[in-house]
Amino acid sequence: MADGAKTVPPRSEVPAQYKWNAESVFANRDAWRQELGAINTALPQLTPYQGTLSQGASRLADWFELSQGLARRVGKLFFYARMSQACDTGDQEAIGMTGQAGGLFSRFAAATSFEAPELLALGEATLKSWVSSETRLAHYAQYFNDLFRQQQHVRSPEVEEVLALVREPFSQVDNTEEMMTSTDLQFKPVTSSNGAVIPLAQSNIGTFMDSPDRPARQQAWENYADGYLSLKQTLTSNYLASVKRDIFYARARRYPSALEASLFQNNIPRAVFDNLIATYRKNIPTWHQYWAIRRKALGVETLNPYDIWAPISQKPPVVSYEQSVEWICAAMKPLGADYVTALRRGCLEERWVDVYPNQGKSQGAFSYGTYDTHPFIMMSYDDNLSAMSTLTHELGHSMHSYLSRKTQPFIYGDYSLFVAEVASNFHQAMTRAHVFGVNAGPQFQIAMIEEAMQNLHRYFFIMPTLASFELEVHQRVEAGKAVTAGDLIDLMVDLFAEGYGSEMRIDRQRVGITWAQFGHLYSNFYVYQYATGISAAHYLSDRILDGDAEAAQNYVRFLSSGSSVYPVDALKLAGVDMTHPEAVETTFAILAGYVSKLGELTSA
């Protein structure tokens, strides 16, 4: 097994060059605390504006300058605390800072909650005239258009204030999930084939799953699932609190369902969600074919879930962090020199990435930052193609953030979850295409296909399955039905069994607890967007890889658009229409090609 599985060092032993550049955000934690106090002191400046936004265009422009300036500062403060906690969930000071920042965020939201109702009371015609007459409001046209689109779901100032205030207690649901799964949850260690007893943690479970040591893989998978099963009642209670939170917000804003609330927020037609699920289910036999090829290639009589990530290649390549950066940069050359320069500088000079595992580090990986910081990445790099895949995925998010913030004003400097997963999976598709050309050897090609299939398995198998799970759970709760831990396990395992087919042995309890291993489910209807994102990504990358220079330019335009246009329209700028199933079908065709090629290589 890789050395990363044998030891998980304390954070203090990780070299500084592989830690995120925290000092570029705040010089130290004392500086953070000073800013916390300064923002608390500044919050009362918002109060005099309540009830006065109708006084004229200049007054409204002053309000935006004040409120958005504070929003940027609050966001930066919260990010620093949250990133510090994620990199070391045992850091009690960081945990306390996150709580303080969360409370500040809630107070800021409450203090600004009167904005939308007052703007709506002004009327669309008045605001349009002010946009024309006051230069400081000129770039708010899309913001106002979207506000009036959502008018029917904006409540009175009093109700809006309450909805803002409940954010803080409701956010404890998410924090509880992380504390349970990243700090309190303990797993039995794993004994490798050579007799070594190895601790199992969130930061090294992926390394075990990638290992050729089948008994160790089995132990790791079982011990990991058993850890979650030991807390199944508590995890169920917490998750159902999250579901009820989604439903509360939907009903408070008068949406017909939590799904409709999520879709409406970003102006996404229901057909996008329904097309995904229908197209996925139609193409499930492609996954059945893959499981059959994988079982034969591994030489096992029965495939088990812990064999999904097992290496088929006899010599999986070792890929250092620095090598990954070079390959990723080379793959992105079609997007232009400016793009590549920013990418390389971020990885090797500006320390955007918190690279290696350490004790207490949160599971998974993410890209996160604010309008006034670098787009930072938290991950646990492990010197293999899977780690390279994760790095390029998160760098896709980071470059999306970098270009949006560089190009757009603060009001449009973010982007929706729906388009976020396009940029990340596009990076993976482009990098994969480049690295395929680095080495034509069969074992290397097999390893690359395995990397592709791991990514597709996560985003084009697990995520659509979780989306179906999420829809069913929300519908049951919305209908007033009882939902228990056993219900969640049964629903999850039945959905996975449909995708696994006859090739996979099903351990019902351990497969069924999979839902608890994905904190993504705590964001209302987030998971389906991984599958739509990977679909759009492959559709667009194919065009660029075919040498379409205009497609590359249009893609960079898309990344630079931020939230200045609606997500589906932003993707149309790039060249793909997600209201039709074509992109999903295209990606299944690419998946089928990988499966076929793997069959050929492993048979040979």
DSSP 412-469: GS---HHHHHHHHHHHHHHHHHHHHTT---HHHHHHHHHHHHHHHHIIIIIHHHHHHH
* Segment 302-327, tens digit of pLDDT: 999 999 999 998 888 999 999 999 99
Residue 224: predicted pLDDT? 98
Contact at 8 Å (CB) between 457 and 531? Answer: no
- Give mean pLDDT, residues 103-113: 94
Residue 4 has pLDDT above 50, yes or no: no
CATH number of this structure's domain 3-165 = 1.20.140.70
Could you give the 3-state DSSP secondary structure of residue 376?
strand
Residues 6+ apart with CB under 8 A from 486: none
| Spatial distance between the Cα atoms of 210 and 382, rounded to a whole number of angstroms | 10
Residue 417: predicted pLDDT? 86
Contact at 8 Å (CB) between 101 and 81? Answer: yes
Q: How confident is the model at residue 493 (pLDDT cuts 50, 70, 90)?
A: very high
Which residue in this structure is represented by tokens 């962090």? 321
CB neighbours (10 Å) of residue 435? 24
Q: How confident is the model at residue 77 (pLDDT cuts 50, 70, 90)?
A: very high
Domain boundaries, the chain: 3-165
Computed over every residue of the chain, the mean pLDDT equals: 95
| Spatial distance between the Cα atoms of 543 and 533, rounded to a whole number of angstroms | 16
Bridge-based pairing state of the strands 376-378 and 366-368 = antiparallel
Catalytic entry in 394, 451, 470, 478: 394
Q: Is 394 noted as a catalytic residue in this protein?
A: yes
| Spatial distance between the Cα atoms of 529 and 128, rounded to a whole number of angstroms | 33
- Give mean pLDDT, residues 266-290: 96
Long-range contacts of 318-326 (CB under 8 A, 24+ apart): 318/383, 318/384, 319/383, 319/384, 319/385, 319/387, 319/388, 320/383, 321/18, 321/353, 321/355, 321/381, 321/383, 321/387, 321/391, 322/348, 323/388, 324/381, 324/387, 324/388, 324/391, 324/392, 325/391
Which residue in this structure is represented by tokens 């580090």? 361
CB neighbours (10 Å) of residue 12? 8
Residue 3 has pLDDT above 70, yes or no: no
| Residue 130: both structure tokens together | 């002010």
- Closest to 197 measured CA to CA, from 399, 1, 37, 394: 1
| Residue 502: both structure tokens together | 């006859």
Residue environment code for 114-149, b if the CB has 16+ CB neighbours within 10 A, otherwise e:
bbbbbbbeeeeeebeebbeebeebeebeebbeebee
| Residue 55: both structure tokens together | 């006084």
| Spatial distance between the Cα atoms of 111 and 255, rounded to a whole number of angstroms | 25
Residue 495: predicted pLDDT? 98
| Spatial distance between the Cα atoms of 300 and 522, rounded to a whole number of angstroms | 36
| Spatial distance between the Cα atoms of 448 and 317, rounded to a whole number of angstroms | 9
* Segment 141-169, tens digit of pLDDT: 999 999 999 898 988 889 989 998 998 89
| Spatial distance between the Cα atoms of 475 and 65, rounded to a whole number of angstroms | 42
- Closest to 593 measured CA to CA, from 445, 397, 401, 396: 445
Residue 164: predicted pLDDT? 87
| Residue 250: both structure tokens together | 């939907």
Contact at 8 Å (CB) between 423 and 397? Answer: yes
